[in-house]
Amino acid sequence: MVALIVAMPQGARCDEFRIVPSIALKEGYNDNILYATSNPISSWVTTLSPGLTLTNRTEKLDLMLSALVDIVRYTQQSDYNSENQYYKGRLGYTFSPKVSAQAEGGWSRDYTPDRDITTTGVALTNVQRDRTYAGLTGNWVLAERWATNASYFFEQDIYDSPQYSNVTGNQFSLGLNHDLGLATKGRFNAGYASYRYSAQDTNSYWGTVGFEYRYHELWTLIVDGGARLANTKYQVTQLQPLPPFFVTVSQTSDVWGGVGKASLNYNGEKTIFSLSAGYDLSPGSGLNTSTQRTSFVFDIRYRLTYELSAALATGYFLNYAAAGDYGTTSVNEATIFANPSLRYEFTRDMYLEMFYNFATTDYKNTNTSAQRNLVFARFYVQYPLFE
């Protein structure tokens, strides 16, 4: 056997192929399962999550396929039971030391009202949403200090309710990086995005300049800033003095806005954390319009012992759109969340987590608010095959 391994080509020894079935059981209590502004409904919630992941990595290939199903059962409110499905894949290939590409895609069907709280700050009802996404990114080293990248991303959300507008987004971007020395890179990015809703279409053009700084491979700081022009076409109903009295006319709006993104990341032996801030136009899935989103998110995990670690994720989102900016809809919502947790790892493939999740959203247009407290324990185990 030793002689066979030595005789194998180097590329084969670098090959990593894994199939990892997993299952997680989560039991918790949610004091506002619909994230309602009044008359909240509480319930104990049990979630069983079987999953399967396939990975194959070589010197040139990076392949990943995964499937996960969350089977959610409410003890007191069985009418809201659901099965959330998530499927995704990634394919990366390095053609040469200077050229690489990566494709990704996925599909999901989910129902939980707080599904987007920690990513966009937007709360929904328990409506069914089917999300399809796909992306393609290419990287090319032009010269010793110059590199470029181009990407395309597609995303479509379809809701099983007339309360929410379906939305289709297409985004193109082009980036240019220049090595400035002293672990610093200059960055230039430009792009185009389109968001199609039931009642309006928004097209925008943006550009940013910034830098990336790495310190001792532990710290990474990225800062980008620039501007965006958004053009929206939408329809409004107007009253006129002659029959048919009410007519639908098309209107357009042009809105200039700033674009800002910054992130600070640290990856140490015991501590991992990230701090990010953003200000940009976002599609606002579930809000029926695009919004100018301001965000601050902080994540940290600290290993107390080899088996035990503590983590905290917290953030703030402000989604804002004045009526007439990106359609007739006005949005002014601010969300804050905080998620502390503890994890005990029995092995690298089995752990137990304890969570507390708090979220609150202030709907400023209606002077109402919603809060949710969620406490749960989660046991996770996986069994890697072909290792």
Q: Answer whether residue 1 shows pLDDT above 70.
A: no
Q: What is the mean pLDDT of residues 188-193?
A: 97
Q: List the single range of 34-48, 95-109, 231-245 with lowest mean pLDDT.
A: 231-245
Q: What is the mean pLDDT of residues 142-158?
A: 96
Q: Encode pLDDT of 311-330 as tens digits.
A: 999 999 999 999 989 988 89
pLDDT for res 193: 97
Bridge-based pairing state of the strands 291-303 and 271-282: antiparallel
Q: What is the mean pLDDT of residues 45-74?
A: 97
Structure tokens at 370: 């919603």
For the chain, percent of residues with pLDDT exceeding 70: 96
Phi, psi of 210 (to 5 degrees): -175, -160
Q: Answer whether residue 7 shows pLDDT above 70.
A: no
Q: 5: part of which helix (H) or strand (E)?
A: helix 2-7
Label residue 12 by pLDDT band (50, 70, 90): very low
Contact yes or no for 110/119 (Cβ under 8 A)? no
Work out the number of other CB atoms within 10 angstroms of the CB of residue 177: 20
pLDDT for res 14: 59
Mapped onto helix, strand or coil, the DSSP state of residue 88 is strand
Contact yes or no for 28/387 (Cβ under 8 A)? no
The Cα 66–Cα 29 span in angstroms is 28
Q: Encode pLDDT of 13-28 as tens digits.
A: 458 899 999 999 999 9
Work out the number of other CB atoms within 10 angstroms of the CB of residue 324: 15
Query: What would the DSSP string read from start to end of 123-186?
Result: ---S--EEEEEEEEEEEEE-SSSEEEEEEEEEEEEEESSTTS--EEEEEEEEEEEEEEETTEEE
Contact yes or no for 267/274 (Cβ under 8 A)? no
Using the 8-state DSSP alphabet, how is residue 367 labeled?
T
Contact yes or no for 165/327 (Cβ under 8 A)? no
The Cα 345–Cα 354 span in angstroms is 12
Mean pLDDT (the chain, rounded): 92
The Cα 18–Cα 16 span in angstroms is 7
Structure tokens at 267: 């990856």
Give every CB contact of residue 162 below 8 A, 6+ residues apart in sequence.
Answer: none
Q: What is the mean pLDDT of residues 364-381?
A: 97
Picking from 326, 284, 280, the residue whose alpha carbon sits closest to that of residue 169 is 284
CATH of domain 84-375: 2.40.160
The Cα 179–Cα 186 span in angstroms is 6
Q: Answer whether residue 46 shows pLDDT above 60.
A: yes
Q: Answer whether residue 341 shows pLDDT above 70.
A: yes
Q: Answer whether residue 8 shows pLDDT above 60.
A: no
Q: Encode pLDDT of 271-310 as tens digits.
A: 999 999 999 999 989 999 999 999 999 999 999 999 999 9
pLDDT for res 82: 95
Q: What is the mean pLDDT of residues 238-242?
A: 70
Q: Answer whether residue 3 shows pLDDT above 50.
A: no
pLDDT for res 383: 96
**DSSP E strands, the chain:** 16-30, 43-57, 61-74, 82-96, 99-110, 129-141, 146-159, 167-181, 184-196, 200-215, 219-239, 246-267, 271-282, 291-303, 308-321, 331-347, 350-363, 368-382
